[in-house]
Structure 1
Amino acid sequence: MTDSVPSAAPGSADASLGQIEWVTLPDVAERLDVSISKVHQMIRDRELLAVRREGVRRVPAELVANRTVLKHLPGILTLLHDAGYNDEEALRWLYQPDDTLPGTPAAALGGDRAREVKRRAQALGF
């Protein structure tokens, strides 16, 4: 099941987060064909990003497209964590609109701009 859960008030700096399609952890497990325990482990290992929305941990649907986690996502999450970003901040960074990428860094991870997204995430640590 995919939900669109508002994340911020219209007009706020985080209004772009309101456009994210969300999936619950049990739905992620089903999409990836793994146990819910494995999904929790992936979140702890920063292979996947989950945040609370309306009291339920959810994952942006596009991060688990095509029955797999986006290829470069674990590396990006590690870079962001090393730069001091928590999960909410990492989510905001991934979904910040960027005119030099195709939409957002999260959208660019699924295409040929993934290296550029990695370079930008690396630069945050300096």
Structure 2
Amino acid sequence: MNENDNRIDALVGDWMTVKDAAAALNVSPNRIKQFIRDHRLVGVKRGGELRIPAAFISGGDVLKGLPGTLTVLADCGFAEEEALDWLFTPDETLPGAPIDALAQNRGTEVRRRAQALAL
């Protein structure tokens, strides 16, 4: 594991396996992989296994506003790990990390900031 992986792991905290995420969303593991391809979720390899931040799933559903935000970040050219870094890094102007703002149903504000990254 490299230094960037360690930084992201420290920011993200809890991870879920594809199987755990599938159970939490009541879908198949293949559906989770499709969600990752469609930028509804982000998955990265950890310990040789694809993992998803646990914060991305709340109340049996994908966190509201996350798919749109991930699409904007992908359109801005962010790789998966860069998107995770941005989502979980505290931003004084929000306040808190963008993932926290999404959890508080402030997705429009988060997407606006993400769109500004493309400018």
TM-score by length of 2: 0.89
Q: Which amino acid aligns with 1:100?
A: T
> % of aligned pairs identical?
46
- CA distance in 1: counterparts of 2:92 and 2:30, whole angstroms: 38
| Larger CA deviation: 49-58 vs 97-106 | 97-106
Question: In structure 1, what is the equivalent of residue 89 of structure 2?
Answer: 96
Unaligned residue ranges in structure 2 (runs of 5+) = none
Write out the 4+ residue segments of structure 1 that deviate beyond 6 Å after TM superposition. none
- The alignment status of 1:124 with 2:117, answered yes or no, reads yes
| Whole-Å separation in 1 of the counterparts to 2:27 and 2:105 | 28
User: Following superposition of structure 1 onto structure 2, how do residues 36-47 of structure 1 map, counting pairs within 5 Å?
Assistant: 36-47=29-40
Residue 83 (structure 1) aligned with residue 76 (structure 2): yes
Mark the runs of 5 or more structure 1 residues left unpaired by the alignment.
1-6, 9-13
Give the 3-state SS of the residue equivalent to 1:125 in structure 2. coil
Q: CA deviation at 1:93?
A: 0.5
TM-superposed CA distance for 1:52, in Å, is: 1.1
The CA distance in 1 between the partners of 2:105 and 2:24, in whole Å, is 24
Task: Give SS of 2:108's match.
Answer: helix
Q: Name the TM-score, length of structure 1 as normaliser.
A: 0.84
Residues 64 and 105 in structure 2, CA contact (< 8 A), matched pair in contact too: no
Identify which of 45, 51, 57 aligns with 1:58.
51
Structure-1 separation of matches of 2:46 and 2:84: 12
- The AA in structure 2 aligned to 1:108 is A
Letter in 1 for 2:99: A
Aligned-pair RMSD on alpha carbons? 1.4
What's 2:10 paired with? 18
Whose RCO is larger (CA < 8 A, sep 6+)?
A: 2
Amino acid at match of 2:28: S
